[in-house]
Amino acid sequence: AQKITQTQPGMFVQEKEAVTLDCTYDTSDPSYGLFWYKQPSSGEMIFLIYQGSYDQQNATEGRYSLNFQKARKSANLVISASQLGDSAMYFCAPSPQSNTGKLIFGQGTTLQVKP
Amino acid sequence: DSGVTQTPKHLITATGQRVTLRCSPRSGDLSVYWYQQSLDQGLQFLIQYYNGEERAKGNILERFSAQQFPDLHSELNLSSLELGDSALYFCASSAGVFGSPLHFGNGTRLTVT
From CA A96, how far away is CA A37, in angstroms rounded? 17
pLDDT tens profile A44-56: 999 999 999 898 8
HEC sequence for A58-101: CCEECCEEEEEECCCCEEEEEECCCCHHHCEEEEEEEEEHHHCC
From CA B62, how far away is CA B77, in angstroms rounded? 11
Which of A34, A38, A42, A45 is the best substitution to test chain B (most B C-beta atoms within 10 A)?
A: A45
pLDDT tens profile A14-45: 999 999 999 999 988 888 889 999 999 999 99
- Nearest-Cα distance to chain B for A71, in Å, is 20
Please list every residue in chain B whose beta carbon sits closer than 8 Å to the beta carbon of residue A3: none
Cβ contact B94–A101 (<8 Å): yes
Q: Percentage of residues in chain A with pLDDT exceeding 70?
A: 99
pLDDT tens profile B37-78: 998 888 999 999 999 999 999 989 999 999 999 999 999 999
For residue B8, say if its preceding peptide bond is cis, omega within 30 degrees of 0: yes
